[in-house]
Structure 1
Amino acid sequence: MKQWALFSFIFFLSLFLITGCQKKEEVKPEERLQEYVEHWEAYDFKAMHEMTETVGKEAFIDRYEKIYHDIDVENLQISFDMPDPESENNEEEEIESVHYPLQVKMDTIAGPVSFDSEIEMVKTVEVIDEQETVNWLVNWNEGLIFPQIKDGGTIGIKAVQPARGQIYDRNRQGIAINESIYQMGVVPNQFTENSDSEKQQIADLLDITLEEIESQLNQAWVQPQHFVPLKVVPSLEQKDLAGAVSSIKPLTYQTIVGRVYPFGEAAAHLVGYIAPITAEKLDELDNDLYNENDLIGYRGLEELFEEQLRGEEGLVIYAQKEGQEPVTIAEKKVIHGKNLNLTIDIHVQNELYYALNGEAGTAAAINPSSGEVLGLVSSPSFDPNAFLYGLSSATWDKWNNDPDTPLLNRFASTFAPGSVFKPITSAIGLTNGSIDPAEGLEINGLTWQKEGWGNYRIRRVSESNGLVDLHDALVRSDNIYFAMQALGMGEEALVTGMKNFGIGEDFPFTYPIQTSTISANGSLENEVLLADTSYGQGEVQMSALHLASSFSAILNNGTIMKSSLLMDEEASSWKEGLISSEHASLLQNAMRDVVTSGTGQDANISSVEIAGKTGTAELKQSQTQTGGQENGWFVGYPLDGSIIISMMIEHIEEKPNGSGYVAEKVANAIENLPN
């Protein structure tokens, strides 16, 4: 009996051990860790949370999602190493946790981030229905997001704004610069019992309304001692704002850095301006680069070189703990905008602009030997500072309704050149052999027509004494002479010559300039059109800059240098072989005589010897129309050939000396230029 009892006890104990507390097959910790890593790389934070030891959902899922979303995590890669066997207990039954070296890599908005860490897998055992279940969970801590916040802290992002590139003239004079400007505002508790009067004074000074002042003062954040901004101004000299600050107690200012255009209207069309981005503009742009609070270039070089000038924003991802300096996790270095160094000479620019004196017109100045552009002016103009520092609706309406269209960029446009085209026709005829400079043509009276032209007649400004040769025709600006020469030359020869001067092809220049044209369809098949084109009428259109460049061929023995606007552009020729040195000398002598004894005598000043050609372009709707608008031209240069200036003024029909009025302005500008 005793033996049977002992046998039964052993049997049931064995059965209990086999069935009553049988373990399921255990999962290895590295297998669970691999599963965890796969969820992590898939940004499945919910699944990750289910594999961690006790930690709240908000502290885990929401935190991961917010941080990873804010810093735009991509290409997340996580790997781990098996632990060193010597550092772990090899008796599996006694292992309660395992530490694995961990490597994390990711891309963020501030660049790549990588770090080494350590992750602990903790053994858990549950008994369900008398069966043990072994599992491994992650002992999670915030250091697994970033080691810098293992012991607490927050992750922040800081944007570092680039400084906009500045624009300088050839002598490093700032044309568009970043400079101290003034944020005008008020301190509420400084208003006196006469606050209504003080507010009205401030509104008048700053060209804003009382409603705008009240709106700013009524913002929720405003406290009695706070500075409340009202308007930014580029200078305290405007309306003596410095004096107003002294006399109006609540009015004050803060100094900040902003964009300033020191030469205002004189360079406005060339430089353009920056202004707050509009909703329409934002729709056209990359939202990764711009937002609704940005400033962007409009018009001119500010728009043309926006990408280079704006630079690239820097970003810093950092960890912040209370009472400690922030620790950088990743940084995308700010790239400040590139400066533009122009060939423009601001002294030339100013002289040309103020010579035009607000009249509708344009001017271009070049160095003929290098092709460097020294001045590009459109008149009338506008104040580019106004777009950034408070453009009133009254000013905007005034600009838009002005018949002289100050917002129109005339130096980028083309116009009928009138008689300043005659030296170009001369160079074409001399080079192709159709014009013999010594041959005189018999021309009688003030008008002439070819048989079969009906009522259309060509008129010249003065009668000749005897035969008219090329020199005489240039000095007296004889339309009939050039019309006869064009008819003798023929359409093909004149069109070919015009094309050799670049007329009809894109003008190679950094700043977009409208293409000069031969005619509406590029041909001169009509005889009257052929004749009219020879003296700059008909349908030929040229820009002021293209005209100045064309005249440079006469000073460069037949070569036109490519026009350049940036100092780092290498000098190169655009057109060559346009005229021989012998024929160029003939034209130079003739254009000097235009000034000393011909139609350009208003440019004959004692201080500087000037040569050039006058021109009057009649803007006619048809060949038989009389009267109407006339534009006056003068293209001139000092005899040392240091500069060529091409200038046009609209509506000279009422000026007593016609295009001589323009010649005088060019001469005065040349005289006033620094040596």
Structure 2
Amino acid sequence: MKKRIFMLLILILLVACSNDRVTPNERFDSFVNDWNEQKYEKLYDMFTSEAKSTFSAEESVLRNEKLYNNLNVTDLKVTFSPIKDDDLDAAMDKGVAKIPFRVEMNTIGGPIQFNYKATLKLEGEGENRNWFVDWDPGFIFPDLKNGGEIKYTTTEPKRGEILDRNQMPLALNDDIYEVSVIPDKLGESADQAKKDIAKLLGVSVESIDGKLNQSWVQPEWAVPIAKITKDNEKVKNQLLQISGVQINTVNGRVYPGGESTAHLTGYLRTVRAEDFEEFDESKYAADDMIGARGLERLYEEQLKGEPGATIYIEKENNEKVVLAEKEVENGKNLTLTLDINLQEELYDSYGEDAGTAAAIDPKTGETLALVSSPSFDPNKVMYGTTEGYMEALDKDEQLPLINRIVSTFAPGSAFKPITAAIGLENGVIKPNEGFEINGLQWGKESWGDYKVTRVSTSNGPVDLKDALVRSDNIYFAMQALEMGKDKFTKGLHNFGIGEDFPLTYPVTASTISKSGEIDNEVMLADSSYGQGQIQMTAIHLATAYTTFLNDGNMLKPTFFTDEETGKFWKKGLITKEQVSTIQDALRAVVTDGTAKDANNDKVKISGKTGTAELKQTQEEKGAENQWFVAYPTDSKDILIAMMVENSHESKTESPVKKVSNLLINMKR
């Protein structure tokens, strides 16, 4: 019995003393782990009684957490050097241990690192006896130990601008007007005043009330309601007649090209939660602007820049101790190869018509214009005074919000020179060999009722030049069948159809078909004259034509001025002799063929027309998209591919007249 009692006393004694054997190294390791994981609530429980009596949780742990959040602390790393065995026994006996540690972190002001020393004390009785950390503000930053306040300043970067090849702005930072309302000064007719303001700004009264009722608003404070561009001077003056309205000049984003460049530049909007799936949330405040579409979105990170910041401790004597400092990095400008004058002329030529166009320098590969019509005004989207502007655009049957620059379309007969090049290269097409073609329709018995149709009959055999001049579908269908799908498909791949297009401004890849293959003879025949399921962007079609102006080599297009020009995307597609054959035919298309409307006495033009009929069956009468791809015959210094949608409903001119007029104006 005595033996059992003795063993029980020994066990109780061991339990009571077990925490005495927890080393300061082990205890501080737990402290550091919680610190690294930012489990601040656990840290305070490990403070010494003296530290707890001196500093509340709010003054220590919660302050630490708030500071870390304000300073955007990331990559926090706390490490320490454990007490060596030789010194550990002495520390255990004294009940006091000193452990050096190091803190490293990244902040809005850049990296911060420091060394400090922690004092741990053995406290408590029985099961509660343990090592506790004698915390002081130096654990946050050493210079805080003897007092001071952490402060920081930030400098917002200037957003990079988007410029054309001649440094003309397409998106720039400029003065705009910020319209504010002072609630106290609206007067007795406040409701009517808000209605008048809403009407002039194109917003709802509810949206104004929502801003005036924000929690921070004081009756005598000016509350920002909207922003308008400087060209809205009339609206500005009318607003200033309303009691309680205040207008200040602030900096904003402005798009001088308006509708003509909207699909390229895009615009800005207030950052949203879903943006952080793509961009770093730590780099944005709640009311920051971010690219919403176009180049503003695609190159958001380059355009935005990096804010500058200084983190410092301000002492009681106003002494400043700088902890970290990062210079502001303004956003980078984007300089495009585009020419804003050409861009605007090409866009304006559409009038009320829908479509897309691309212009390229056939000697260098520089993209000179990319147009999508109809369009929208990014200035009105951001600062508009038209109520429901975006809703009206969304309901517009011509789909002005669709970016046709990046979209693919059936190229129609504008594709025939590519088929000609493929056939010449593989030896199936012989330029002077004529085909006997009778009537306006042709087909094989195995096709059933399906027929290939041409627009006019021929007098005698049809050769390559005649087929291009009169745009003979039957000739090209016959030649494609003679080639077979393998040779024809190989030729399409040689022209980059079916692979990513190498333009820095991303566009949809042109395709042979939905499956990527030519499945049957009918599809092969239709594909030869740009129907079937062939789909191309305007810029790819324009680029393909550079083959005929560069001795059979297709240029690699460029979009930014810092890209190397004059490089080839595809080499050796046809020979110089074959190039000459196609050039002669393209000139004859204008002088004697389907593009006679482009023939004039002011500038010689070469090119190829195309009509793509949009229908599901041969019996249908579908809408037609008309193409014209052309260049000045002599100078060969610009190549334009233009498409007009639903050309039967065109309210202005055909693409042939639009392009020829533009080329004539350029030569004046």
Q: TM-score range by the shorter chain?
A: 0.7 to 0.9
1: CA distance between counterparts of 2:278 and 2:135?
45
Counterpart CA distance in 2 for 1:326 and 1:408 is 54
- The one of 637, 642, 661 equivalent to 2:637 is 642
The 10-residue stretch of structure 1 (295-304 or 518-527) with the greater mean CA deviation from structure 2:
518-527
Question: Aligned to 1:288, what secondary structure does the other structure show?
Answer: helix
Structural mapping, 1:302-321, within 5 Å: 302-321=296-315
Secondary structure, aligned partner of 1:398: helix
Other-structure match for 2:602: 607
Partner of 2:147: 152
Query: 2:396 aligned to 402, 408, 413, which one?
Result: 402
**107, 110, 117: which is aligned to 1:109?**
107
Q: In the superposition, relative to structure 1, how do residues 47 and 523 fare at CA in structure 2: closer, same or farther (>3 Å)?
A: closer
The TM-score normalised by the length of structure 2 is: 0.82
Amino acid at match of 1:507: F
Q: Say whether 1:558 aligns with 2:552.
A: yes
Change (3 A) 1:187 1:674: farther
CA distance in 2, matches of 1:103, 1:335: 33
Are 1:588 and 2:583 an aligned pair? yes
- Partner residue in 2 for 1:92: none
Distance 1:519 1:120 in 2: 74
* Cα offset, 1:301, TM superposition: 1.7
Q: How does 1:77-476 map to 2 (within 5 A)?
A: 77=79, 105-110=103-108, 111-114=110-113, 142=137, 145-188=140-183, 190-191=185-186, 195-219=190-214, 221-223=216-218, 225-233=220-228, 235-238=229-232, 240-282=234-276, 285-290=279-284, 292-321=286-315, 324=318, 326-389=320-383, 394-476=388-470
Tell me: CA distance 1:157–1:246, structure 2 relative to 1, closer, same or farther (3 Å): closer
Q: How many residues end up aligned between the 2 structures?
A: 619
Alpha carbons of structure 1 residues 78 and 64: separation in structure 2 relative to 1, 3 Å: farther
Determine the C-alpha separation between the residues in 1 that align with 2:51 and 2:513: 80
Distance in 2, Cα, partners of 1:278 & 1:393 = 22
Identity %: 47
Contact 2:51 2:136 in 1 (8 A): no
Q: Specify whether residues 80 and 52 from structure 1 end up closer, same or farther in structure 2 by C-alpha distance, changes over 3 A only.
A: farther
The 1:444/1:51 distance shift into structure 2, 3 A limit, reads same
Aligned counterpart, 1:577: 572
* Alpha-carbon distance in structure 1 between the residues aligned to 2:586 and 2:297: 39
Report the Cα distance in structure 2 between the residues aligned to 1:394 and 1:585, rounded to whole angstroms: 55
Assess if the C-alpha contact under 8 Å between 2:200 and 2:239 holds in 1.
Answer: no
Structure 2 residue aligned with 1:501? 495
Q: Unaligned stretches of 5+ in structure 2?
A: 1-22, 36-42, 84-95, 126-130
- CA offsets, 1:566-622, max 9 Å, x none? 222223211111121122122112212211222112222333221111111111202
Q: Secondary structure of 2:282's partner?
A: coil
Aligned partner letter, 1:664: K
Q: Which residue of structure 1 aligns with residue 654 of structure 2? A: 661
In 1, Cα distance between the equivalents of 2:194 and 2:472? 66
Partner Cα separation in structure 1 for residue 69 and residue 395 of structure 2? 50
**Cα distance in 2 for residues equivalent to 1:390 and 1:620:** 39
Check the 8 A contact 1:314/1:332 in 2, yes or no: yes
Tell me the CA shift for residue 284 of structure 1.
5.8
Q: Larger radius of gyration, structure 1 or 2? A: 1
In the other structure, the counterpart of 2:40 is: none
| Equivalent residue letter for 1:210 | V
The alpha carbon displacement at 1:315 in A equals 3.8
Q: Structure 2: how far apart are the matches of 1:40 and 1:198? A: 60
Aligned pair in 2 of structure 1 residues 138, 593: CA closer, same or farther (>3 Å)? Answer: closer
Q: What is the CA-CA distance between 1:325 and the residue it aligns to?
A: 6.8
Question: 1:544 maps to which residue?
Answer: 538
2: CA distance, partners of 1:75 / 1:525 = 61
Amino acid across the alignment from 1:109? T
Secondary structure in structure 2 of the residue aligned to 1:356: coil
Letter in 1 for 2:263: H
Paired with 1:526 and 1:118, the residues of 2 have a C-alpha distance of 80
SS at match of 2:597: helix
- CA spacing shift, 1:239–1:404, aligned 2, 3 Å: farther
Native 8 Å contact 1:216 1:230 kept in 2: yes
> Which 5+ residue runs of structure 1 have no aligned equivalent?
1-31, 82-97, 129-135
Distance 2:242 2:27 in 1: 68
Secondary structure, counterpart of 1:337 in structure 2: coil
Moved more, 505-514 or 235-244: 235-244
Q: Could you tell me which amino acid in structure 2 is paired with residue 616 of structure 1? A: T
Q: Which residue matches 1:75?
A: 77
Change (3 A) 1:137 1:507: closer
Shift of the alpha carbon at 1:650?
0.9
Compute the displacement of 1:465 (Å). 2.8
CA distance in 2, matches of 1:342, 1:113: 39
- 1:87 corresponds in structure 2 to none
Q: Matches of 1:60 and 1:591 in 2, distance apart?
A: 81
Instruction: Using the TM superposition, give the Cα deviation of residue 223 of structure 1 relative to its aligned residue in structure 2, in angstroms.
Output: 4.6
How far the C-alpha of 1:219 sits from its partner, in A, is 4.5
1:602–1:664 CA contact under 8 A, matched in 2: yes
User: Tell me, what secondary structure is at the counterpart of 2:404?
Assistant: coil
Give the Cα–Cα distance (whole angstroms) in 2 for the partners of residues 618 and 121 of structure 1. 84
Say which SS state the counterpart of residue 656 (structure 2) adopts: helix
Q: Deviations over 1:140-186 (max 9, x none)?
A: 86556445445533113444433332222211122122222221123
Q: Distance in 1 between matches of 2:667 and 2:271?
A: 40
Give CA deviations for 1:315-357 in whole Å, capped at 9, x if unaligned: 4322234683754212344433222221122222212211112
What is the CA RMSD across the aligned residues, in angstroms?
Answer: 3.8
Paired residues of 2:148 and 2:315 also in contact (CA < 8 A): yes
Residues 185-237 of structure 1 deviation map (CA, whole Å, 9 limit, x = unaligned): 2334554665554433321110112333344444555455432211012x132
Aligned residue for 1:85?
Answer: none
For the structure 1 residues 40 and 497, does the alpha-carbon distance in structure 2 shift closer, same or farther, using more than 3 Å as the test?
closer
* Residue 79 to residue 154, structure 1, CA distance change in 2 (3 Å): farther
The answer for the alignment partner of 2:664 in structure 1 is: 671
CA distance in 2, matches of 1:337, 1:437: 55
Secondary structure of the structure 1 residue equivalent to 2:611: strand
Tell me the secondary structure at the aligned position of residue 237 of structure 2. helix
TM-score by length of 1: 0.81
Distance of 2:384 and 2:650 partners within structure 1? 38
| 2:48 and 2:134 in contact (8 A); partners too | no
Letter aligned with residue 76 of structure 1: V
